[in-house]
Structure 1
Amino acid sequence: MNGIVQDLKCLIAGEVSDSLELLTEVSQDFGGIYQKSPQVVVTPKNPRDIAQTVKYASAKGLVISSRAAGHSLGGQSLNQDGIVLNMKNLDGIRDIQKDQLWFKADAGTSWNQVVDACVPDGLVPPVLTNYFGVSLGGTHSAGGIGAASFLYGNQADNCLGVEVVTAEGDIVWCTPEENSELFNHVLCGYNQFGIITQVQHKLRVYPSQTRTYLLFYDDLDALLHDKRILVTEQRIDHLVSFPVPCLQGISRATGFIQPLIQWFYTLRITVEANSLEEIDDKQILAGLNFYRHIHTEDLGFAQFIEPMIQVDSKEIAHPWMDVFLAASSAKDYIETTLKKLPTFLDISKTQMGCFCLVNRNNTKPMFRLPQEEELIVGFGIYPSIPKSQVQPILAELKKLSNLSLEMGGKRYLTCWIDFTIQQWQSQFGDYWPEVNEIKSKYDPKGIFNSGFFEYEHITHQFIEDVAKSAIAV
């Protein structure tokens, strides 16, 4: 183990450590479900350090993973017995082009840094997630969705270029025109095909004002109908809804105490404008079937985009799960899920969300959506629970995950995932053979982010290399 540290210290300018404290720090992620122990943590100073480390890992048969903020939910940034790249020092904003509407920044840069740098100039990325503490490399590797994704796609769809370290240790720039195959697969590819070190991303000019409407529904059909109208007619700029449980009483008819719950739904929609006088409330709300209009709120844009959620990972697990469903399947899935959730979760403390995507705006092949319909409904369950309760809750969530696949849905892979090889095939459908081919082409030894995707095969050469490495160590 000390030999690996000494070897890498001779190769790179950054830090190399096998201290127990640092290894423990990177052994878990925000999800808090899995724990993996790497041998070494490398904190690169520049992309060349990453390239040298990748070459070394390849030669020694060591797996390698990258980690910035560590906000993965299912072990995607973890590593067993290999090398973790701690990207925290690669956090600089390189350029902001106001006229051309793009910025360039290192992969370890947080979205907080981007917003703080761009908003004073009247610019903002087209899509922002609901928490800004995550990194550019992390969300571009996953997709990155937000309340404006039905208009602009995911964050990876707004990427103009990426610098990538390949499995051969080459540093290459990728765009839709240059190294396009690698570009299209490192985005939403969970570091399976290369390591993103720098990102060039779109910006847009934002209007100064926003108006948000909070609408209350007592009928899921009405909610889904109104979402379709709002999205297809593009009346609004941001949309998200939340199931709200209301305990009506209890029943003992089955021999067990069973809560009787009525589900309601809150829809939050927002319109952007250069002045509030431009907004026509009647036009925005025309023909909608809400039960009650609860609240209207006017905010300046910079205040509006401030994240509303705070996260705390201490001694807490986050077995979060997002599913993507064709709009016609959404009602059945959501109703079934809401019926089952109270049997294993405290729904009064469990956050949920429902959002919309549009197929044509999501262009990256690794970001899978049901293809039979244009409108996609996303549904997310976000429990925060003591780690002692994780396993029984995961068993129940797995049933709901399986149900989504059986109904033709897809999973958002940034969350907790526990797939069989058949379910990986279901996730990618006809594209699954190509995913395996791309993996074999760009990572033939299987050194990148091993243990997350379950591919149909890994090369014999990789098996031989790992065996030789184990003997050497």
Structure 2
Amino acid sequence: MKASPIPQLLMALLLASINSRKSDPDAPITASFRSMAIDGQFTTHDVSNAAMDFGNRYHFLPSAVLHPGSVADIAATVRHVFQLGPSSRLTIAARGHAHSLQGQAQAPGGIVVRMESLGRAKNMHVHAGESPYVEAPGGELWIDVLKETLRHGLAPTSWTDYLHLTIGGTLSNAGISGQAFRQGPQISNVHQLEVITGKGEVINCSSTKNVELFHSVLGGLGQFGIITRARIALEPAPKMVRWIRVLYSDFTSFTEDQEKLISAEKTFDYIEGFVIINRTGILNNWRSSFNPQDPVQASHFNSEGKTLFCLEMTKNFDPEYPEIMMQEVEELLSQLRYIPSTLFQSEVSFLEFLDRVHVSEVMLRSKGLWEIPHPWLNLLVPRTGIHAFANEVFGKILTDSSNGPILLYPLNKSKWDNRTSAIIPNEEVFYLVAFLSSAPCSSGQDSLAKALKQQERILEFCKKANIQMKQYLPHYTTQEEWKFHFGPRWEEFKHKKQAYDPLAILAPGHRIFQKAVASL
């Protein structure tokens, strides 16, 4: 490895972040960092960028950004900070594609690690034999993993809706999409991890080796270690996808049909739903990519401002044998109670379907509507509370869905590994309800304040109605709220934090634990 001393300016910033007093008890830190020999580099010109994320609401400047050239660079940096002990205020945050919402990948006054620097090495390995898998860096984007595995006729078994996220980022949360009802979240489809703990140790772990760390890190919100490499389960990749959307006006029929589909042995390969409140022309908006079964009826359909519920499904197939797929789709659709004139179908490649959100991203970026505040709220609502939730929220608290999609679809608890750190409701069937709001400044009103107020009302209703929901991609500001979130698993979570990151160096942006700093 070649030596790459940290610039004098960086040293000054690091020292300033640690101790703002005139006295300088941290002077040895300067020599400590200067002595580091790394493959990558530390920078300060991009600290403002490192204080930005997709949520675009919190902006905490780090003192420096590490662009690692190797896993050893990250381990050495964490180890240096750990060795500084409680006299240092420095913390470290791993930053992937920065799709976090409330500054979770930021490190105020600390060091942000650009994990995508590792991904650029493209050192993926696809094992295409029995029980296929791919090994990839934690900073690799899922879209690049997909493209590489497709070259071997394979693909990961579980996805998120948006593929331009890093492996480490989604595995630190859960990683869910419309396949999770059958395959489970992404964290249930991992064989092995390479992790850097809060002590700077590089540890390989799996369900049979260093088991506690393995399950702790999966869904662990970055609290126990930085994921630098993952071995991910693969399966044969389909070539084509039949993409289907239908509409419901009755919430009960909508949810019962969804639950029937996710419990059936022969069913669709992907099942999601979303809510449309006080919107018109929704069918015309789909016409460019979806073909209605009855164009005449579809052209006369009028939502009349009603709340509608869209069921979205796919069926994978081989284009050489489409008849089998068509027969299965026809049989499944015959069991559903959607509005007949609203059946829309399309056929796209497997890659096109999985990367569908990126098309919207390109369009929104061209209009300057991507890098704006995104006050998202993601909830996991138990089945027993979903009807009370819908009655209160859709049409009362929320009077329209014009500021962003509202997803609503069921998941099976049995497909989640309960040994991971992910927190979900204690019912076999629960629903993801995701309010994916955008708050453009050009809306003519304080749309951000409005969205946040609506979220407060939703959360307050859940509390008063005793709906035992859990936040997905959770955000809380006090440890008491975090204790409530983890419930009976809080003490276990805290114990693991003490074991793997005893100084609370890692992932400070979640505000779960605060680094204890000794008084000088």
Q: Same fold (TM over 0.5)?
A: yes
Deviation per residue, 1:137-177 (Å, 9 max, x gap):
11111111111011111111111111011122111101011
Q: Provide the rounded CA distance (Å) in 2 between the counterparts of 1:88 and 1:212.
A: 32
CA contact (8 A) 1:95 1:103 kept: yes
Look up the equivalent residue of 2:495 and give its one-letter code.
Answer: E
Tell me the secondary structure at the aligned position of residue 54 of structure 2: coil
Q: Provide the rounded CA distance (Å) in 1 between the counterparts of 2:237 and 2:247.
A: 28
**1:36 pairs with one of 49, 60, 66:** 60
- Structure 2 residue aligned with 1:329: 385
- Structure 1 residue aligned with 2:294: none
Q: Provide the rounded CA distance (Å) in 2 between the counterparts of 1:241 and 1:134.
A: 22
Verify: 1:246 aligned to 2:287, yes or no. Answer: no
Tell me the secondary structure at the aligned position of residue 124 of structure 1: strand
CA contact (8 A) 2:381 2:431 kept: yes
- Structure 1 residue aligned with 2:297: none
Identity %: 24
- Structure 2 residue aligned with 1:295: 344
Q: 1:402 to 1:158 in 2, by over 3 A?
A: farther
Tell me the secondary structure at the aligned position of residue 356 of structure 2: coil
- Structure 2 residue aligned with 1:236: 268
- CA positional deviation for 1:333: 1.0
Q: 1:396 to 1:304 in 2, by over 3 A?
A: closer
Look up the equivalent residue of 2:278 and give its one-letter code.
Answer: C
Deviation per residue, 1:207-236 (Å, 9 max, x gap):
333323221101001000000110101411
Look up the equivalent residue of 1:246 and give its one-letter code.
Answer: N
Tell me the secondary structure at the aligned position of residue 510 of structure 2: coil
- CA positional deviation for 1:261: 4.6
- Structure 1 residue aligned with 2:101: 73
Q: Provide the rounded CA distance (Å) in 2 between the counterparts of 1:26 and 1:401.
A: 30
- Structure 1 residue aligned with 2:440: 386
**1:273 pairs with one of 312, 317, 321:** 317
- Structure 2 residue aligned with 1:252: none
Deviation per residue, 1:373-401 (Å, 9 max, x gap):
21111111111113664345323313323
- CA positional deviation for 1:404: 3.8
Q: 1:299 to 1:192 in 2, by over 3 A?
A: same
Q: Provide the rounded CA distance (Å) in 1 between the counterparts of 2:52 and 2:354.
A: 29
- Structure 2 residue aligned with 1:170: 201
CA contact (8 A) 2:139 2:167 kept: yes
Q: Provide the rounded CA distance (Å) in 2 between the counterparts of 1:393 and 1:69.
A: 24
Q: 1:50 to 1:266 in 2, by over 3 A?
A: same
Q: Provide the rounded CA distance (Å) in 1 between the counterparts of 2:143 and 2:270.
A: 19
CA RMSD of aligned residues (A): 2.3
- Structure 1 residue aligned with 2:291: none
Residue correspondences, number: 445
Gaps of 5+ in 1: 249-259, 469-473
Q: 1:333 to 1:359 in 2, by over 3 A?
A: same
- Structure 2 residue aligned with 1:439: 497
Look up the equivalent residue of 2:36 and give its one-letter code.
Answer: L
Q: Calculate the TM-score normalised by the size of structure 1.
A: 0.88
Matches within 5 A, 1:198-237: 198-234=229-265, 235-237=267-269
CA contact (8 A) 2:476 2:482 kept: no
**1:10 pairs with one of 35, 43, 52:** 35
Gaps of 5+ in 2: 1-9, 15-29, 281-303
Matches within 5 A, 1:68-467: 68-91=96-119, 92-99=122-129, 100-234=131-265, 235-246=267-278, 261-274=305-318, 275-279=321-325, 280=327, 281-292=329-340, 293-309=342-358, 310-311=360-361, 312=365, 315-342=371-398, 347-363=401-417, 364-371=419-426, 373-386=427-440, 389-404=447-462, 406-413=466-473, 417-455=475-513, 462-464=516-518, 467=519
- CA positional deviation for 1:80: 0.5
CA contact (8 A) 2:127 2:134 kept: yes
Q: 1:420 to 1:119 in 2, by over 3 A?
A: same
Tell me the secondary structure at the aligned position of residue 378 of structure 1: strand
Look up the equivalent residue of 1:10 and give its one-letter code.
Answer: S
Tell me the secondary structure at the aligned position of residue 13 of structure 1: coil
- CA positional deviation for 1:200: 0.8
- CA positional deviation for 1:9: 4.8
Q: Calculate the TM-score normalised by the size of structure 2.
A: 0.80
Q: Provide the rounded CA distance (Å) in 1 between the counterparts of 2:232 and 2:440.
A: 37
Q: Provide the rounded CA distance (Å) in 2 between the counterparts of 1:43 and 1:421.
A: 31
Q: 1:30 to 1:14 in 2, by over 3 A?
A: farther
Q: Provide the rounded CA distance (Å) in 2 between the counterparts of 1:362 and 1:8.
A: 42
Structure with greater strand share of residues: 1
Q: Provide the rounded CA distance (Å) in 2 between the counterparts of 1:115 and 1:245.
A: 34
Tell me the secondary structure at the aligned position of residue 277 of structure 1: helix
